[in-house]
């Protein structure tokens, strides 16, 4: 299939070029440049007047659920949320039911996803202390491994015996170890801390845990990636080790753009792990993002059924994928972030960290994972517009611009005019280092 996009503004080599065309030969980008007309051989011709064509975002922290958790989300609703949010590839977390922690479970999850996904998906696994299992998981195609450090804590301290086996194992494999570097906090405790303006206690724990695991890991060559870092001091501590070890970190859109006033306003809907912090903390995170101290931006899309968000002990997390690109592009429009920063932190860098080949840039021979963005169109966030199974959002009421009005995944249009047109199966399972086939 040859698909020609005409009259677009094209984001290429860190700048926007007016009056361009781009030719897709499914699934790859075949050609692009200034549009002088004279295109003869194509099957479909699409007009993108007034829109900017960007590389699709790569969200490196997403919980797609499905299987026994499909009442919360499934591969189809999760990846539909992604493509409406300008995201063409996601990395799925392993705390599923069944957990993604054995070769059988990983294969089962990959197989189930294949016919349902509208975006590309890389699968992470929980690592084993047994190297041969980690090796097998890598061979099957685990894109990374993830540990939840609270599972390795005894009396408030990290139990190093299992962690050193994991670090030693992953040193021999070209896979990142993702780290959830926070303790679990109950909603009632979080509210108390927020009301007393005492969130610094949680920040101290985040920083100390980061420093502990960095100390343990320095003897090993494993590549580390810190998930949803929510406090500036932890970012500083992690960045101090750069240059000595291969380490990277992410922040979420909600820690950048929201604070605990949202928690006070929306209650348990806005409960998330790690919890939202103060306005000044969010401002500092924003500054750190602009200064280059943050490697990537993610959503930590984590939907639950609405009944699980209610009661005395609501679950942390919410669905955010559908608003990834618009929340960030709204900051670009306001002049608070540069387009280059947003593109780098959501496409080029995640592709680099997770060794995702031929995605994350507009280049000939790369997969045609693309988004047509309309900066004139506005979107008012309402829970009813979510295509996720979780019909609630901490961004309720926000007016956003920079709307992904068309999304292409592997050269196939899956979102047209902010409406899902993909059926599932357009996305591919991402295997690190995987090369596109010749077409």
Task: Give me the least distance between CB of 244 and Zn ion, in Å please.
Answer: 27
70 CB burial (10 A radius; 0-12, 13-18, 19+): middle
Task: Give me the least distance between CB of 303 and Zn ion, in Å please.
Answer: 11
| Angle at 334 (CA atoms; ends 328, 336), nearest 5 degrees | 70
- Closer to Zn ion at the Cβ: 93 or 379? 93
- Closer to Zn ion at the Cβ: 59 or 300? 300
Residue of 82, 128, 96, 98 lying closest to 430 (CA atoms): 82
C-alpha radius of gyration, the chain, whole number? 21
In our burial notation (b when 16+ CB lie closer than 10 A, e otherwise), range 179-196 reads bbbbeebebeebbebbee
| Angle at 93 (CA atoms; ends 318, 321), nearest 5 degrees | 40
- Closer to Zn ion at the Cβ: 57 or 227? 227
Q: Which residue is nearest to Zn ion (CB)?
A: 300
Task: Give me the least distance between CB of 103 and Zn ion, in Å please.
Answer: 23
- Closer to Zn ion at the Cβ: 250 or 372? 250
For the CA atoms of 97, 171, 297, 394, the dihedral, rounded to the nearest 10 degrees, stands at: 30
- Closer to Zn ion at the Cβ: 60 or 203? 60
CA 40 to chain centre: 38
Task: Give me the least distance between CB of 373 and Zn ion, in Å please.
Answer: 26
Name residues whose C-beta falls within 8 Å of residue 139's C-beta, 6 or more positions apart in sequence. none
Q: Specify which residues 145 forms β-bridges with.
A: 125, 177
Contact present, 124 and 144 (Cβ < 8 Å) = yes
Q: Strand 412-416 vs strand 399-409: parallel, antiparallel, or unpaired?
A: antiparallel
Hey, how many other C-beta atoms are within 10 angstroms of the C-beta on 315?
Answer: 20
- Closer to Zn ion at the Cβ: 46 or 321? 321
What H or E segment, with its residue span, contains residue 300?
A: none
What H or E segment, with its residue span, contains residue 377?
A: strand 370-380
- Closer to Zn ion at the Cβ: 250 or 300? 300
Hey, is 407 helix, strand or coil? strand
The Cα 78–Cα 298 span in angstroms is 15
Q: Specify which residues 226 forms β-bridges with.
A: 179, 249
Task: Give me the least distance between CB of 421 and Zn ion, in Å please.
Answer: 29
Hey, how many other C-beta atoms are within 10 angstroms of the C-beta on 157?
Answer: 10
Q: Is 369 in the site for Zn ion (CB under 5 A)?
A: no
Residue of 320, 225, 226 lying closest to 272 (CA atoms): 320
Residue of 258, 263, 301 lying closest to 281 (CA atoms): 258
- Closer to Zn ion at the Cβ: 295 or 300? 300
- Closer to Zn ion at the Cβ: 51 or 304? 304
Whole-number Cα distances in Å, 426 to 93, 112, 195, 429, 438: 21, 14, 46, 10, 17
347: DSSP letter: I
Task: Give me the least distance between CB of 301 and Zn ion, in Å please.
Answer: 8
- Closer to Zn ion at the Cβ: 98 or 397? 98
Pattern 275-304, Zn ion, x by CB under 5 A: -------------------------x----
Task: Give me the least distance between CB of 50 and Zn ion, in Å please.
Answer: 36
Judged by CB under 5 A, how many residues of this single chain contact Zn ion? Answer: 1
Task: Give me the least distance between CB of 180 and Zn ion, in Å please.
Answer: 7
Task: Give me the least distance between CB of 435 and Zn ion, in Å please.
Answer: 29
Task: Give me the least distance between CB of 95 and Zn ion, in Å please.
Answer: 8
- Closer to Zn ion at the Cβ: 74 or 300? 300
313: DSSP letter: S
Task: Give me the least distance between CB of 319 and Zn ion, in Å please.
Answer: 12
- Closer to Zn ion at the Cβ: 300 or 344? 300
What H or E segment, with its residue span, contains residue 16?
A: strand 15-25
Task: Give me the least distance between CB of 135 and Zn ion, in Å please.
Answer: 25
Chain residues binding Zn ion by CB under 5 A are 300
């Amino acid at each position: 299939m040859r698909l020609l996009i005409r009259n677009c503004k094209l984001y290429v080599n860190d700048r926007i070029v007016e009056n361009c065309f781009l030719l897709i030969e499914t699934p790859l980008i075949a050609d692009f440049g200034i549009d002088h007309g004279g295109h003869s051989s194509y099957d479909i011709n699409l007009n993108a007047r007034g829109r900017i064509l960007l590389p699709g975002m790569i969200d490196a922290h997403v919980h797609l659920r499905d299987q026994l958790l499909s009442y919360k989300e499934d591969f189809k609703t999760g990846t539909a949320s992604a493509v409406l949010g300008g995201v063409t590839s996601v990395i799925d977390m392993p705390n599923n039911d069944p957990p993604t922690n054995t070769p059988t479970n990983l294969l089962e999850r990959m197989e189930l996803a294949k016919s349902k996904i509208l975006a590309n998906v890389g699968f992470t696994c929980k690592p084993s202390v047994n190297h041969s299992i980690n090796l097998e998981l890598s061979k099957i195609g685990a894109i990374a491994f993830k540990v939840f450090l609270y599972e390795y804590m005894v009396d408030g301290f990290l139990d190093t015996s299992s962690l050193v086996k994991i670090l030693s194992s992953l040193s021999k494999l070209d896979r990142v170890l993702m780290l959830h570097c926070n303790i679990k906090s109950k909603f009632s405790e979080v509210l108390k801390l927020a009301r007393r303006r005492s969130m610094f206690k949680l920040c101290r724990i985040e920083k100390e845990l980061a420093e502990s695991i960095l100390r343990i890991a320095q003897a090993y060559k494993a590549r580390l990636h810190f998930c949803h870092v929510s406090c500036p001091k932890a970012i500083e501590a992690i960045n101090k080790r750069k240059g000595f070890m291969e380490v990277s970190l992410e922040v979420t859109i909600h820690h950048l753009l929201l604070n605990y006033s949202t928690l006070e306003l929306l209650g348990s809907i806005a409960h998330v792990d790690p919890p939202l912090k103060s306005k000044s903390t969010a401002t500092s995170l924003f500054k750190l993002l602009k200064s280059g101290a943050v490697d990537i931006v993610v959503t930590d899309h984590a939907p639950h059924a609405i009944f699980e968000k209610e009661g005395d002990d609501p679950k942390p997390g919410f669905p955010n994928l559908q608003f990834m690109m618009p929340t960030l592009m709204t900051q670009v429009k306001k002049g608070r972030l540069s387009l280059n920063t947003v593109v780098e932190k959501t496409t080029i860098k995640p592709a680099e960290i997770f060794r995702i080949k031929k995605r994350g840039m507009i280049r000939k021979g790369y997969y045609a994972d693309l988004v047509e963005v309309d900066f004139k169109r506005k979107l008012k966030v309402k829970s009813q517009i979510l295509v996720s199974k979780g019909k609630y959002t901490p961004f309720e009421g926000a007016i956003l611009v920079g709307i992904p009005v068309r999304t292409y995944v592997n050269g196939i249009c899956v979102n047209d005019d902010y409406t899902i047109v993909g059926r599932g199966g357009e996305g591919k399972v991402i295997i690190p280092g995987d090369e596109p086939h010749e077409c």
